Amino acid sequence: MGAFCKEDACFSSIDAGFTSSQQLRLSKHVHDNVHGNIYLDSLSLKFIDTEQFQRLRDLKQLGMTHMVYPGATHSRFEHSLGVYWLAGEAVQKLKNYQGLELGIDVFDIQTVKIAGLLHDVGHGPFSHLFEREFLPRVRSGSKWSHEEMSVKMVDHIVDEHHIDVDSEMIKKVKEMILASSEFSIPKASKEKHFLYDIVANGRNGIDVDKFDYIVRDCRACGLGCNFEFQRLMETMRVLDDEICYRAKDYLTIHKLFSTRADLYRTVYTHPKVKAIELMVADALMEANDFLEIASSIEDPSDYWKLDDTIIKAIEIAPNQELKKARDLILRIHRRNLYQFCNEYAVPKDKLENYKDVTAQDIVCSQKNGGVILSEEDVSVSNVRIDLTRGRHNPLESINFFKDYESDRKFSIPDDRISHLLPSYCQDMIVRVYSKKPELVGAISEAFENFQLKTYGIKAQVHATPEKKKRRL
């Protein structure tokens, strides 16, 4: 048995709850540019002060976005500390207001905080590029996810550093990390199910992970953010084992999802950002056989050594086997990027049966004459942007309460909210890039032919500029 157990007598309030101002004062703290002072309990420090967790300093939160938004250099380390802090704040507020009826104890508070701290410890390099762009190309059909690796990494850290922690706590931490993924544990096997909605909410998508990265990413990119998570944290309430929100806060919740969607469109999937990410993915592909990058994804003892610095390792390596990868990285530095040809939003009535567009689709749409394109000349990005629940409105999955005198929870139908809110909650954007500037014209024409063949219209809003087509 570790230092924590379910009976309150087994806990140190200094370690878990910070129940007094003096305890806060004596604890270790760091100053965060989003949340101010973040106080670190002793168990969390045991995880933080490991090489596996410190690796997060070398993982940029937004991957290659800093090449377009220069301020976006913040790391997964900062984000993880932020989620740790907000997770603790959220569960502590529930304890303050409803602790007796919910049975929240110090064990629960510590568990939620550790889950927040470690939820991204298995994340790959370059934000989501590693698992969404690179791994599917080298491990076809692989179901690998950073959430699963985070769970493996938690076990590895505990074993490697002999951290004295209750096995039941670690089991719940891992379940909380997986709560919003396809590997989540069925509800029937959980106690206090509402606790599993705090860090990674698979029920309706409202969680402190989003609270932190939305505010942090907006700040880093120099964008305004009118979403205030503090309002939701102060007024949330548990009814029937579920975190519910005041009905009057429905627009605040909608701002959470709409701000996230705006970030996806204007920052995370910015056309130039995607061009650079496609080039990084190609560089990793070229280097994979020699460096065996993908072989590290099964074993945490190898995987923790993989971070964003792999780009620099490729860049300075003299090996001839890495020349193609080095040339791609050099092109990024010299801003000789894959050229954005055009994009279109998939028509709404075609989304249900949509299949990703491939380079082969574009090449096969080329008409005879002129330059003959090959699949290696074209790169296609299929960008899905939604409000966290695909085509469905996330507000449909959220339960509200009228006021604190009422014990009844209810959902709010679309037509009762606002006619100004979107009736459809998903975009699918197809973007096509030329790997060579001189082929922009030919690829743009083939892309237009593909749209005419597929939809009978040119779905893109603007034609590719003639000046860009003639660029050499």
Strands 242-246 and 400-401: parallel
d(CA 232, CA 247): 11
Distances (CA, A) of 322 to 302, 313, 328, 393: 21, 10, 10, 46
146 is catalytic: yes
Distances (CA, A) of 471 to 336, 368, 372, 439: 12, 22, 18, 9
The DSSP code for 288 is: H
Contact of 119 with 83, CB cutoff 8 Å: yes
Task: Count CA atoms closer than 13 A to 227's CA, side-chain side.
Answer: 28
What is the chain's alpha carbon radius of gyration, rounded to the nearest angstrom?
24
d(CA 325, CA 320): 10
Selection from 31, 63, 16, 25 nearest residue 274 by Cα = 63
Given 146, 156, 254, 270, the catalytic residue: 146
Show the tokens assigned to 379. 């790169």
Q: How many helices (H) and strands (E) does the chain have?
A: 20, 9
The DSSP code for 415 is: G
Q: Mention every residue, 6+ apart, whose C-beta is less than 8 A from residue 377.
A: 359, 363, 434, 435, 436, 439, 443
Q: How many residues does the chain have?
A: 472
Selection from 55, 45, 300, 54 nearest residue 155 by Cα = 300
Residues annotated as catalytic (active site), given as ranges: 146
